[in-house]
Structure 1
């Protein structure tokens, strides 16, 4: 929770599996290593995980402690990932996501991964959309099969019918990864050009561009400006606020200039990244004067920050902030936070709750 009393919502969290046993694609180790190296560039000193913490099969209890004890996050959206052509469990398994939901029903929702190339992908959408806590579907724009990288843009013949199935289902949001390419897939697979066609054809669906502003900022903001059902999800991008503040300022400034503050949602990217530094960075952020004068970017108000750090995500999920506050008041994490606040130790030190042998905040306490 922010010092103003507004809720903090992390719109993307994961239980990654960075173990060698999970590797399926010849570039899986490279993917793990590049993810670790990206975190080392994006996170400030003291928040970069050790190799011991990073290269493991992260579990739901670890994620909960990271979010609810080591950061100000009150509510999160767990994203499972459909990358079973690269990793045996898809990199972030559905099973751990549903376990996390079961353990934290008042503090979490879930976007479920779907692989459009599977014959029963449409049936999966309908099945998962009916499950409690599932609020969205997650796609990736490329796959790897039979030695080839395959494009899965939303406009592909294999993908478009699935948008119709989502539109007819009990969820109303599709999240799509748009970022730097992974493994050997070409850059063109990752541009957000296809989002506009989909947003125009399915006006009742919301489209979250994941990692918005890290890459393809011009295409992203113009899609947001033209379609009020396109949202910017700041996973990874939010971390730039501390380590590359001018790049973050330009990305946020363009979004605010073209689309305003109501469709930008914060995401931390746990467990690959620590979620607390970008929360503090955004809360303390001020648009640089040279960018306000030279680019006509607006001032970022406290109201804007409260929307970005939680309010917009709750509205997208259809959650009433006051009801969420009532639902989590006095729960396990609220009690443990209060104990830490009394000792001045909340949020807990980065990654401290991961070491069950030395931490006083282990799951068994």
Structure 2
């Protein structure tokens, strides 16, 4: 918690960027781009060199980084079905370990490649049983093949809609789609957000989570928040600006609120992508975040209040997912992380294999 405000990190990972996990020629450039981009967007003292970053991170490292090295209470661990890696960028097995070992701390999302057709539905069913009825499904707009990278769109009635319908019948609440940030040297076309419109219209009882919302296509995303109550933004990657590019972060948040006004803050959730980004600097920066007067004047917005921050940091996600925060916080009040954590957060990476290697 920050002061008395609960924090839910709506997307965390345990990457496997080790060379042994590269499935094809797209693995290395995707891993190298991820390592370089995150290094550039980290605060001084929180940067990990590529030689140390491009490895197989354990679920223990992600859990300790999130719950001991930051003021995060709950986290959502995603399966990342990125096909240029043999086990995905984050495996089903790690996600299963997260929910099995720490069921009161973690929420988990399944993840499949919709372009696999019936095989994707079959794999979703396998993961759904293994992960204990996960409330979310994580998707990527690309499908990595040996010699090419294909793309699909959220409004495709043959590729996307059958999977959405099946997931809905199984009880999934949220379809999370990676947007705005290309994962490598691939066409930008499938990372745009326009295709979410018809998905939201055709499945009004599903929630559509724009992961990396605010990193690009700000105007289009703002209009989606203003038009569709079942669309919300996850600030993963965008949140890093709060610590290293604070003025840019002001413009990003103000842009997201530019259509719906302050009410649109109810459709934004916190996400750091830890271990990809260390969660502490952006979280601290966001807690101290305010609009400058020129930004408020330019966008016609009031100040971003403590109540709005509390909603983004935990209240909105809890509402969307039907989580009783008081009940969940009571369950973790005396768990292993609560016992280990002192008055201050642990030093960056001190609970991981990368201790002392940060720059």
Give the TM-score normalised by the residue count of structure 2.
0.93
2:280 is the alignment partner of 1:276: yes
For 1:178, the equivalent position in structure 2 comes to 179
1: CA distance, partners of 2:355 / 2:34: 27
Farther off after superposition, 193-202 or 245-254: 245-254
Residue 9 of structure 2 contacts residue 72 of structure 2 at CA under 8 Å; is this kept in 1? yes
CA distance in 2, matches of 1:271, 1:53: 13
**Does the 8 Å contact 1:140/1:176 carry over to 2?**
yes
- RMSD of the TM alignment (CA)? 1.8
SS in 2 for 1:138: strand
Q: 1:224 — aligned with what?
A: 225
Instruction: State the partner residue of 2:234.
Output: 233
Closer/same/farther in 2, CA of residues 71 and 115 from structure 1, 3 Å limit: same
Query: Which ranges in structure 2 are unaligned for 5 or more consecutive residues?
Result: none
Q: 1:133 to 1:42 in 2, by over 3 A?
A: farther
Alpha-carbon distance in 2 for matches of 1:141, 1:214: 16
Pairs within 5 Å for 1:1-12: 1-3=1-3, 5-12=4-11
Higher mean C-alpha deviation, range 103-112 or range 53-62: 53-62
| CA pair 149-56 structure 1, distance change in 2 beyond 3 A | closer
Change (3 A) 1:357 1:15: closer
Equivalence for 2:306: 302
Distance 2:102 2:42 in 1: 27
Post-superposition shift, 1:122?
2.1
CA distance in 1 between partners of 2:232 and 2:273 (Å): 17
For each residue in 1:61-97, what CA deviation from the matched residue of structure 2 results, as whole angstroms up to 9, or x when unmatched? 111110111011110000111112x011111101101
The structural deviation recorded for 1:133 is 5.8
Aligned equivalent of 1:190 = 191
How far off is 1:52 after superposition?
5.1
Cα drift, residue 230 of structure 1 = 0.2
Q: CA deviation at 1:23?
A: 1.0
TM superposition shift of 1:193: 0.8
Moved over 4 A (4+): 356-359
Number of residues paired by the alignment? 351
> 5+ unaligned residues in a row in structure 1: which ranges?
360-365
SS in structure 2 at match of 1:353: coil
Instruction: Report the alpha carbon displacement of residue 195 of structure 1 after superposing the two structures with TM.
Output: 0.5
Q: Secondary structure in 1 aligned to 2:136?
A: strand
1:71 equivalent in alignment to 2:70: yes
2:43 matched residue in structure 1: 44
Flag the 1:129–1:31 CA change in 2: closer, same or farther, 3 A: same
8 A Cα contact 2:178 2:211, kept in partner: yes
Say which SS state the counterpart of residue 155 (structure 1) adopts.
coil
Which segment is superposed worse, 48-57 or 245-254? 48-57
Aligned match of 1:80: 79
8 Å Cα contact 2:32-2:50 kept in structure 1: no
Q: After superposition, where does 1:132-211 map in structure 2 within 5 Å?
A: 132=132, 134-156=134-156, 157-211=158-212
Counterpart of 1:257 in structure 2 is 258
Residue in 2 aligned with 1:362? none
Tell me which residue corresponds to 1:363: none
